[in-house]
């Protein structure tokens, strides 16, 4: 297979999967082959040493969003039924099954949305708590200075300064675990999305 044949086959395969930015990808793989040839490989060797078209398409499909993948999967099954002249089954099932599938899909979507929402609100709340502690620490620290102007007594000064230091300490102590927790949570959601994607490939 020469370079042009490989790139044409790749373009066809990518188009079949409705991948976006195909031109950019073709440009990238074209450049890769040219660089290999400049490195001393023959055109055929350069093409043979490239990844298989199946692998490239697989990587590109994994890069798509979940709604796109679901839509494509449904379209594929519909088209298949259409080509076999069985599209009426789809329509019949969609209409008759509506009272069953619609509440199920809706519940699943709402559950998923609420799950994501609750999780991120929790992360947001933790950050707000740390922020509030930090601001309180600064406020206590500033209050302790008012002893200079006679607004508070000496014991008041000690309490304010002590409070400021304690609050600052708690803020610093909590900061790292909360950031780490958010990162782990973000990674966890990425994994969930990837596993959902794999169900539709």
Partner 1 sequence: MDSQFRRGILDACVLAVLERGESYGYQLVKDISEFIEISESTLYPILKRLEQTNMLEVFSQEHNGRLRKYYRITPTGRNRITELLNEWAEIVKVYKFIVEERGESHE
Number of Cα atoms under 13 Å in the Cβ half of residue 47: 13
Q: Which of 23, 59, 65, 172 binds partner 1 (CB under 8 A)?
A: 59
Burial tier of 167 (Cβ tally within 10 Å: 0-12, 13-18, 19+): buried
Say how far residue 126 (Cα) sits from the centre of its chain: 21
| Residues 15-34 interacting with partner 1 (rule: CB under 8 A) | 25, 27-29, 31-32, 34
The reply on whether position 187 binds partner 1 by CB under 8 A is: yes
The reply on whether position 12 binds partner 1 by CB under 8 A is: no
The reply on whether position 35 binds partner 1 by CB under 8 A is: yes
For 35-45, b/e burial (b = at least 16 CB within 10 A) is ebbeeeeebee
Q: Which of 94, 100, 194, 201 binds partner 1 (CB under 8 A)?
A: 194
Give the angle subtended at the CA of 127 by the CAs of 139 and 157, to the nearest 5°: 15
Structure tokens given for 155: 């014991």
Say how far residue 6 (Cα) sits from the centre of its chain: 32
Min separation Cβ 45 and partner 1, Å: 14
Taking residues 65 to 94 in sequence order and writing x for each that binds partner 1 by CB under 8 A, - otherwise, the string is ------------------------------
Q: In this chain, which stretch among 50-58, 87-95, 112-120, 166-174 interacts with partner 1, using CB under 8 A?
A: 50-58
Number of Cα atoms under 13 Å in the Cβ half of residue 139: 6
Phi, psi of 40 (to 5 degrees): 115, -5
Q: Which is nearer to partner 1, 127 or 141 (CB)?
A: 127
Residues in binding contact with partner 1, number by CB under 8 A? 23
Q: Which of 5, 12, 15, 55 binds partner 1 (CB under 8 A)?
A: 55
Q: Which is nearer to partner 1, 62 or 92 (CB)?
A: 62
Within 97-149, where are the H helices? 98-145
Separation of alpha carbons 75 and 81, rounded Å: 10
Cβ atoms of 78 and 90 within 8 Å: the answer is yes
Q: In this chain, which stretch among 55-63, 78-86, 115-123, 151-159 interacts with partner 1, using CB under 8 A?
A: 55-63
The reply on whether position 51 binds partner 1 by CB under 8 A is: yes
Residues that bind partner 1 (CB under 8 A): 25, 27-29, 31-32, 34-36, 38-39, 50-51, 55-56, 59-60, 62-63, 187, 190-191, 194
């Amino acid at each position: 297979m020469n370079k042009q044949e490989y790139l044409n086959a790749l373009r066809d395969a990518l188009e079949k999967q409705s991948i976006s930015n195909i031109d950019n990808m073709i440009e990238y793989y074209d450049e890769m082959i040219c660089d290999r040839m400049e490195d001393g490989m023959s055109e055929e060797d350069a093409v043979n040493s490239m990844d298989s078209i199946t692998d490239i398409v697989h990587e590109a499909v994994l890069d798509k969003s979940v709604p796109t993948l679901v839509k494509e999967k449904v379209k594929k099954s519909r088209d298949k039924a259409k080509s076999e002249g069985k599209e009426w089954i789809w329509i019949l099932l969609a209409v008759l099954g509506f009272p069953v599938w619609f509440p199920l899909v809706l519940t699943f979507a709402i559950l998923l949305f609420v799950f994501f929402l609750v999780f991120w609100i929790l992360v947001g709340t933790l950050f707000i708590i740390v922020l509030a502690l930090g601001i309180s620490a600064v406020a206590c620290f500033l209050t302790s200075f008012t002893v200079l102007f006679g607004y508070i007594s000496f014991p008041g000064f000690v309490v304010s300064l002590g409070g400021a230091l304690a609050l600052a300490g708690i803020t610093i102590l909590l900061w790292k675990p909360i950031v780490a927790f958010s990162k782990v949570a973000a990674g966890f959601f990425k994994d969930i999305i990837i596993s959902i994607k794999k169900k539709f490939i």
